[in-house]
Amino acid sequence: MVMNGKTRSFDWFGKNDKMGFVHRSWLRNQGYPDDYFRGKPVIGICNTWSELTPCNGHLRDFAEVVKRGVIEAGGFPLEFPVTSLGETIMRPTTMLFRNLASMDTEESIRANPLDGVVLLTGCDKTTPSTIMGACSVDLPTLVVPGGPMLNGRFRGECIGSGSFNWMVKEKILSENYTEADILEAEIGAARSQGHCMTMGTASTMACMAEALGLTLPGAAAIPAVDSRKKVLAQLSGRRIVEMVREDLRLSAILTREAFENAIVVNSAIGGSTNFVIHLLAIAGRIGVNLTLDDFDRIGSNIPMLVNLKPSGDYLMEDFYYAGGLPVVIRELKRFLHNDAITVNGKKIGENNSQSLCYNQEVISTADKPFKENAGIAVLRGNLCVDGAIIKPSAATEPLMKHRGRAVVFETIEDYHARIDDEQLDIDEHCIIVLKGAGPVGYPGMPEVGNVDLPGKLLKKGVRDMIRISDGRMSGTAGGTVILHVSPESSVGGLLALVKDGDMIELDVGNRRLHLDISAEEEARRRALWRAPEPMADRGYVKFYIDYVQQAHLGADLSILRGGSGSKVTRDLH
Ligand code: FES
């Protein structure tokens, strides 16, 4: 960021006084020459590397490659770590910490002498959290997605990381999988560095970043271990220095049009339902007025072009070889704002106009799509006054209009304790209702919405049932799963009052989710209802519970919406 001919970092390094000495001297213990402090753009490389975030385990090397590009372009790279969120490791859920990581990113950027930032991201939450934080500062910022793993392989078949694990219970019960089978499959599902190689949340977030214009063209699909990913990282290092010189900030790229483009692209790729909650949160930070209904209005009539698991057959490596997101963007040009500016300073339509498709099995044309009318459907009704969502492309068509008897679980522990009880009164026509999985109640809104079906029904061959919750679902999962019910049960949404045996009506075509209950009965139950005790009384979790917003607003903390810019008015002495 250059103001009045001076970089932001000049305010730290450019002064020949005591504070200039202090700011420069300690940094120089790393061996930087004098001229590094004389007006070179300082580029922060915000690294979400962590051995506890396996999907981002290669980002330490990537930072060195980005630095090469920054130095080539005349910048001064300084790498810094931020809170990293490992989806498969952290308890109770990384979503509880997305906002914490965003705060870390925001304050790390603002407090330091940075002129521009490269965000190194990968696993699910590491992309939205760092973008959210960066938005609240609004410096020139570019995203380098870490890339997916190579395709999973197991006994001659392609298996998707993140998707295969949802079948493990079924494999054990129906195909007599042994421990040895499972061990062989689990390493086969994780063959290289990188994030999940299905169109799960991490791949969705990488595509979101590219569709928003925050990456160089073609970045999202390149596998983590492909040498072309390092080329992209190096070019990104060069480009961020130019962005600083051009003062091309996030707010110039993240316009209303860019958000609408991201929604269109997400429909065409069959992206994760988590896209909704993260995009809402990012919009809230940069000041774009995006609502839940925008996702349905803009996205639900878009043809689905990409045939990737969990909605299709292929994996991210295939997507890259077929041409990746540039082909999708070119195919979608009649639905997109093609003039939206991206980080390379060019329009998104211009960037992708020459892309070629090398496999129409993987990326179809808009005229002959893989599926018609994909996207996210937003449901309304007394069960979800502020909305709920379903991903029709991952659901079972005959269940999309259904009236069924509720089988209710008050908490996830209640579900685990009873779901495989042979005496449980449930059949395939019932609707599984899970409470206590929302932002406040769990806390943190985990990916439990796609709960496994009862063992006895799996053994009978049942493969899908309607499930309703105030939680989320993994982007790698599928099924007729209604998520993000808002308001959540723990704050008194009608979901809290559902009882075993109630009848629920789902009509996705008419966007309706309704609990068949009389006003008198609802009033009687509400009078008896007591909010559950908060799950924490101190520390970050208490802070989160006190400030978190409901799902339809993106589950950001209310005090984090918006931004504070990049100015810091006081020095340290
Ligand atoms: Fe990290 Fe899937 S667990 S991307």
The tens-digit pLDDT sequence of the chain (573 residues) is: 565 568 999 999 999 999 999 999 999 999 999 999 999 999 999 999 999 999 999 999 999 999 999 999 999 999 999 999 999 999 999 999 999 999 999 999 999 999 999 999 999 999 999 999 999 999 999 999 999 999 999 888 888 886 677 677 777 777 777 888 888 888 888 999 999 999 999 999 999 999 999 999 999 999 999 999 999 999 999 999 999 999 999 999 999 999 999 999 999 999 999 999 999 999 999 999 999 999 999 999 999 999 999 888 999 999 999 999 999 999 999 999 999 999 999 999 999 999 999 999 999 999 999 998 778 999 999 999 999 999 988 899 999 999 999 999 999 999 999 999 999 999 999 999 999 999 999 999 999 999 999 999 999 999 999 999 999 998 778 899 999 999 999 999 999 999 999 999 999 999 999 999 999 999 999 999 999 999 999 999 999 999 999 999 999 999 999 999 999 988 888
The C-alpha atoms of residue 110 and residue 103 are separated, in whole angstroms, by 11
Which residue of 93, 165, 195 sits with most ligand 1 atoms within 8 Å of its CB, as the best mutation to test the pocket?
Answer: 195
Check whether residue 181 and residue 220 sit in a common domain: no
Q: Does residue 470 sit within a domain?
A: yes
Task: State the distance from the centre of ligand 1 to the C-alpha of 122, rounded, in angstroms.
Answer: 8
Q: Does residue 302 sit within a domain?
A: yes
Which residue of 59, 88, 159, 198 sits with most ligand 1 atoms within 8 Å of its CB, as the best mutation to test the pocket?
Answer: 88
Q: Is the CB of 123 under 6 A from ligand 1?
A: yes
Task: State the distance from the centre of ligand 1 to the C-alpha of 527, rounded, in angstroms.
Answer: 43
pTM confidence score: 0.96
Task: State the distance from the centre of ligand 1 to the C-alpha of 348, rounded, in angstroms.
Answer: 27
Amino acid at 366: A
Q: Is the CB of 125 under 6 A from ligand 1?
A: no
The CA-based diameter of the chain, rounded to the nearest angstrom, is 79
The C-alpha atoms of residue 297 and residue 320 are separated, in whole angstroms, by 29
Check whether residue 178 and residue 272 sit in a common domain: no
The C-alpha atoms of residue 544 and residue 312 are separated, in whole angstroms, by 36
Which residue of 49, 123, 474 sits with most ligand 1 atoms within 8 Å of its CB, as the best mutation to test the pocket?
Answer: 123
- Pick the atom of ligand 1 nearest to 202's CA: 4
Which residue of 91, 95, 124 sits with most ligand 1 atoms within 8 Å of its CB, as the best mutation to test the pocket?
Answer: 124
Nearest protein CA to atom 2 of ligand 1, as residue: 196
Q: Does residue 387 sit within a domain?
A: yes
202, 195 Cβ separation under 8 angstroms? yes
Check whether residue 185 and residue 224 sit in a common domain: no
Q: Is the CB of 87 under 6 A from ligand 1?
A: yes
- Pick the atom of ligand 1 nearest to 56's CA: 1
Task: State the distance from the centre of ligand 1 to the C-alpha of 547, rounded, in angstroms.
Answer: 27
- Pick the atom of ligand 1 nearest to 122's CA: 4
- What are the residue ranges of helices labelled H in 29-161? 59-72, 95-111, 126-135
Q: Is the CB of 375 under 6 A from ligand 1?
A: no
The C-alpha atoms of residue 362 and residue 364 are separated, in whole angstroms, by 6
Q: Is the CB of 556 under 6 A from ligand 1?
A: no
Check whether residue 105 and residue 254 sit in a common domain: yes
Helix axis angle, 274-286 to 256-269, nearest 10°: 170
Check whether residue 126 and residue 237 sit in a common domain: yes
Q: Does residue 363 sit within a domain?
A: no
Give me the pLDDT at residue 5, please. 63
Backbone angles phi, psi at 58, to 5 degrees: -95, 0
Task: State the distance from the centre of ligand 1 to the C-alpha of 352, rounded, in angstroms.
Answer: 28
Check whether residue 251 and residue 303 sit in a common domain: yes
The C-alpha atoms of residue 17 and residue 25 are separated, in whole angstroms, by 12
The C-alpha atoms of residue 350 and residue 344 are separated, in whole angstroms, by 11
Task: State the distance from the centre of ligand 1 to the C-alpha of 89, rounded, in angstroms.
Answer: 10
Contacts of 391 (CB under 8 A, 6+ apart): 270, 273, 311, 376, 377, 478, 481
Which residue of 84, 121, 196 sits with most ligand 1 atoms within 8 Å of its CB, as the best mutation to test the pocket?
Answer: 196
Check whether residue 215 and residue 262 sit in a common domain: yes
Q: Does residue 560 sit within a domain?
A: no
DSSP string covering 277-331: HHHHHHHHHHT----HHHHHHHHTTSPB-B-BTTTSSB-HHHHHHTT-HHHHHHH
Check whether residue 488 and residue 409 sit in a common domain: yes
Closest CA to 13 of 32, 4, 535: 32
Closest CA to 103 of 281, 244, 250: 281
Count of C-beta atoms within a 10 Å radius of residue 112? 16
**Structural domain total, the chain:** 3
Q: Does residue 7 sit within a domain?
A: yes
Check whether residue 479 and residue 531 sit in a common domain: yes
Q: Which domain holds residue 395?
A: 377-535
The C-alpha atoms of residue 126 and residue 148 are separated, in whole angstroms, by 14
Residue with tokens 């995006």, as numbered in its chain: 290
529, 494 Cβ separation under 8 angstroms? no
Closest CA to 199 of 320, 356, 361: 320
The three-point CA angle 248-249-255 to 5° equals 105
Amino acid at 2: V
Q: What is the CA radius of gyration of the chain?
A: 24
Check whether residue 48 and residue 161 sit in a common domain: no
The C-alpha atoms of residue 485 and residue 473 are separated, in whole angstroms, by 12
Which residue of 48, 87, 191 sits with most ligand 1 atoms within 8 Å of its CB, as the best mutation to test the pocket?
Answer: 87
Q: Does residue 365 sit within a domain?
A: no
Closest CA to 284 of 135, 88, 479: 135
- Pick the atom of ligand 1 nearest to 162's CA: 2
- The CATH number of the domain holding residue 527 is 3.50.30.80
Check whether residue 325 and residue 415 sit in a common domain: no
Give me the pLDDT at residue 2, please. 60
Task: State the distance from the centre of ligand 1 to the C-alpha of 124, rounded, in angstroms.
Answer: 6
Left if phi > 0, otherwise alpha if psi is -120 to 50, otherwise beta: which for 39? left
Full 3-state SS string of 493-507 = CHHHHCCCCCEEEEE
Instruction: From 170, 191, 212, give the residue that closes a domain.
Output: 191
Check whether residue 141 and residue 159 sit in a common domain: no
Closest CA to 77 of 128, 106, 112, 103: 112
Helix axis angle, 292-299 to 274-286, nearest 10°: 120
Q: Does residue 523 sit within a domain?
A: yes
Task: State the distance from the centre of ligand 1 to the C-alpha of 157, rounded, in angstroms.
Answer: 21
